[in-house]
């Protein structure tokens, strides 16, 4: 019998300020409200300045020091960068910073409401050089429209890159965005002293002899694209009649992956069991979020009846993709026996 083990999202201990323990929240996009109440999170209402992909935190810390009147939000996917920047926040006792473990797409589409940000900073994003990986670039039309939607009128968008091809691509994309106006004399400048600090990657680029490209845009009064906040769906829940034992269901499982509607990718990774239930380890990638969790197939008191639902392992959020995966898993369960049928179903198909 295989044992299910899942990584814990809470990363490490509370931060210590002046020898007094303060529970600085370890924030993950899967555990925050969609959209997030930033005033409640910071304990005050203030302009929100967002840095996407803050790396080792040099620019984020500069923002926090130079804008004590603002709430500074940093989003990063790399745990090492998160932990190092958290330690720097601890050393400097900066209380106007919140660090969030998330992708940019999840941050913009799930956590930030329209017209909620005063500025967005993007410093030296991964260029994803290979053509096959170009869809992973941050500067994409859909993501830029989400940024525009989340910026307040008068809010600013800053971009810095040391890759000429990435700069040219971004310049074309930004110039074709009517909601943004360029505040520079050209598409970009190669120096921007008012930034006030250089990042690790910026210094590395300059030392290597590469030219940096800086963009400064302002959100104007032109109507924003309609990019609604993506909220939680109801929890999926299915009860089936299936004349098989748990052992027989367990034996039928095969690892598989498939692409469902709307670009939802699902990978059923493995299956685990105890005397009364099965855990099906699942990875789902949607356009705005990735999740790694488990579905639960539990025996009910009535003979040959099972409940399919989300396990609490991994803190899954019931998104559209999760419902599509639940529907696909239900179909697999029904395919195991000709007399299998659905008794109760709460799964959204669209």
User: What is the set of active-site residues?
Assistant: 126
The Cα–Cα gap between 226 and 115 comes to: 11
**Using only C-alpha atoms, what is the Rg of the chain?**
23
Beta strand extents in 71-149 (DSSP E only): 71-76, 97-101, 117-123
- Given a contact cutoff of 8 angstroms between Cβ atoms, the answer to whether 119 and 129 are in contact is no
141-150 and 164-175 helices, crossing angle to 10°: 60
Phi, psi of 30 (to 5 degrees): -75, -15
The Cα–Cα gap between 308 and 268 comes to: 14
Pairing of strands 97-101, 71-76: parallel
Phi, psi of 73 (to 5 degrees): -115, 125
- Sign, CA dihedral 197-203-209-212, equals negative
Token pair listed for 221: 């009064």
Phi, psi of 294 (to 5 degrees): -140, 140
Which DSSP symbol is given to 335?
Answer: T
How many residues can be counted in the chain?
A: 350
């Amino acid at each position: 019998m295989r044992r299910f083990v899942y990584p814990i999202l809470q990363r490490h201990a509370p931060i210590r300020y002046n020898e007094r323990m303060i529970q600085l929240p370890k924030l993950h996009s899967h555990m925050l409200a969609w959209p997030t109440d930033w005033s409640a999170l910071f304990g005050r209402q203030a302009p929100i300045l967002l840095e996407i992909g803050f790396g080792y935190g040099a620019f984020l810390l500069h923002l926090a020091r130079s804008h004590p009147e603002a709430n500074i939000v940093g989003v990063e996917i790399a745990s090492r960068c998160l932990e190092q920047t958290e330690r720097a926040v601890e050393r400097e006792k900066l209380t106007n910073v919140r660090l969030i473990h998330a992708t940019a797409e999840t941050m913009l589409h799930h956590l930030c409401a329209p017209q909620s940000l005063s500025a967005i900073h993007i410093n030296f994003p991964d260029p994803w050089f290979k053509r096959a990986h170009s869809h992973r670039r941050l500067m994409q039309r859909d993501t830029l429209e989400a940024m525009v939607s989340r910026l307040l009128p008068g809010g600013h968008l800053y971009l810095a890159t040391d890759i000429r091809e990435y700069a040219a691509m971004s310049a074309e994309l930004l110039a074709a965005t009517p909601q943004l106006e360029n505040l520079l004399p050209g598409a970009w400048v190669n120096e921007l002293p008012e930034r006030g600090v250089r990042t690790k990657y910026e210094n590395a680029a300059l030392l290597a002899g590469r030219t940096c490209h800086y963009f400064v845009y302002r959100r104007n009064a032109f109507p924003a694209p309609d990019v609604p906040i993506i909220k939680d769906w109801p929890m999926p829940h299915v009860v089936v009649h299936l004349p098989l034992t748990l052992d027989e269901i367990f034996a039928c499982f095969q690892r598989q992956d498939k692409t469902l509607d709307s670009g939802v990718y699902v990978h059923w990774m493995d299956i685990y069991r105890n005397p009364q239930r099965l855990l099906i380890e699942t990875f789902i990638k949607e356009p705005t979020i990735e999740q790694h969790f488990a579905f639960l197939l539990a025996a009910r008191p009535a003979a040959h009846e099972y409940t399919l639902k989300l396990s609490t392992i991994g803190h899954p959020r019931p998104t559209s993709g999760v419902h599509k995966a639940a529907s696909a898993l239900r179909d697999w369960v029904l395919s195991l026996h000709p007399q299998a049928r659905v008794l109760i179903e709460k799964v959204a198909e669209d």
